[in-house]
């Protein structure tokens, strides 16, 4: 990754972004990102074309919940906002809509492949107020007290140290600013009627996440994480969607199992034959009109930094 302060000279093939005027008396350090040689994706589920398309579908799926949360926080015109771990879109379109054309909207993403796709989407959708930068959610490198709102969705479930991310988000919001989180809790992820293949595959996927140091039940911890970060006026809300075939999220467990197939077999969770039998039988069960999938709890929580 290449980072350039606005005052630095440009590197060959990269033009520095002109610094924007200070808002609320804060100075923003512009950074440029070299996307010409994409690196290895570090996102747990990868950065394949199907996964990028799934993330875009997810943005639309959870847009009503995200918009409602922003309304409850009271996001206003000219707010400086950042979407941490935004992937190709996150809620950047909603932040641009809420804050207006003169605001600063930043999308922070570590994976260069997601960033490259994101740049294409920003251009396609005319989101001219959005800037995408490359960085790590644990250590953004951004100035302290720079934003009115820092948001992250489905980031904490994919990192081994969720508190470190929340602490960094708290650091970069101004006194009186907000930190907002949206995460899952797998406790409610079931199919009805139940099926042994569902139980087996869900347990294996949860174990794979756990061995990576990640918590698939992190959603329930959000208010506590915000409190530990020193935030005030903490509020939370929980949603529990239910899906049926052919909705893509009715198949999400099978999608995860396909992504984790090699690891499942190589580490001895199942044999190749067992994997095929489990996935094919579950596919048929999910396609039954009488099968309902209750997804993970979709947890939202937000809190304010003391002024």
CATH number (2.40.160.40, 3.40.50.150, 3.40.50.2300, 3.40.50.970) of 49-183+215-239+299-304 reads 3.40.50.150
Question: What is the token pair recorded at 228?
Answer: 């530990």
CA distance 129 to 127: 6
Buried b (16+ CB within 10 A) or exposed e, 61-79: bbeebbeebbeebebeeeb
How would you write 165-225 as a 3-class SS string?
Answer: HHHHHHHHEEEEEEEEEEEEEHHHCEEECCCHHHHHHHHHHHHHHHHCCCCCCHHHHHHHH
Q: What is the pLDDT along the chain (307 residues), one digit of tens a residue?
A: 223 233 323 322 323 333 344 443 333 333 334 433 344 334 444 446 677 787 889 999 999 999 999 999 999 999 999 999 999 999 999 999 999 988 999 999 999 988 999 999 999 999 999 999 999 999 999 999 999 999 999 999 999 999 999 999 999 999 999 999 999 999 999 999 999 999 999 999 999 999 999 999 999 999 999 999 999 999 999 999 999 999 999 999 999 999 999 999 999 999 999 999 999 999 999 999 999 999 999 999 999 999 9
Contacts of 21 (CB under 8 A, 6+ apart): none
Cα 116 from Cα 132, distance rounded (Å): 9
Strand locations in 21-172 (E): 81-84, 105-109, 130-134, 147-153
What crossing angle do the helices spanning 49-61 and 63-73 adopt, rounded to 10°? 50
Q: Are strands 190-192 and 173-185 parallel, antiparallel or unpaired?
A: unpaired
Phi-psi region of 85 (alpha: psi -120 to 50; beta: other; left: phi over 0): left
Domain chopping of the chain, boundaries: 49-183+215-239+299-304
Q: What's the gap between Cα 203 and its chain centre?
A: 23
């Amino acid at each position: 990754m290449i980072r350039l302060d606005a005052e630095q000279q440009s590197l060959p093939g990269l033009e520095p972004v002109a610094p924007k005027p200070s808002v609320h008396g804060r100075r923003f350090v512009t950074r440029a990102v070299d996307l010409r040689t994409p690196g290895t994706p570090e996102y747990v589920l990868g950065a394949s074309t199907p996964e990028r398309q799934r993330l875009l579908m997810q943005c639309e799926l959870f847009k009503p919940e995200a918009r409602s949360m922003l309304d409850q926080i009271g996001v206003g015109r000219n707010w400086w906002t950042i979407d941490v771990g935004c992937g190709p879109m996150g809620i950047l379109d909603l932040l641009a809509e809420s804050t207006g054309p003169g605001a600063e909207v930043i999308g922070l993403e570590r994976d260069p492949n997601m960033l490259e796709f994101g740049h294409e989407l920003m251009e396609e959708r005319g989101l001219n107020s959005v800037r995408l930068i490359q960085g790590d959610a644990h250590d953004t490198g951004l100035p302290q007290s720079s934003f009115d709102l820092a948001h992250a969705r489905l980031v904490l479930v994919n990192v081994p140290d969720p508190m470190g991310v929340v602490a960094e988000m708290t650091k970069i919001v101004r006194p009186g600013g907000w930190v907002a989180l949206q995460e899952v809790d797998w406790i409610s992820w079931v199919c009805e009627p139940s099926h042994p293949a569902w139980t087996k595959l869900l347990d294996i996927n949860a174990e794979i996440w756990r061995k990576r140091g990640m918590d698939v039940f992190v959603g329930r911890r959000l208010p506590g994480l915000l409190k530990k970060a020193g935030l005030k006026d903490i509020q939370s809300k929980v949603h529990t969607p239910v899906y049926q075939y052919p909705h893509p999220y009715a198949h999400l467990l099978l999608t995860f199992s396909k992504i984790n197939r090699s690891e499942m077999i190589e580490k001895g969770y199942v044999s190749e034959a067992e994997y095929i039998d489990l996935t094919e039988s579950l596919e048929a069960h999910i396609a039954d009109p009488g099968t309902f999938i209750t997804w993970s709890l979709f947890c939202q929580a937000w809190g304010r930094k003391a002024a």
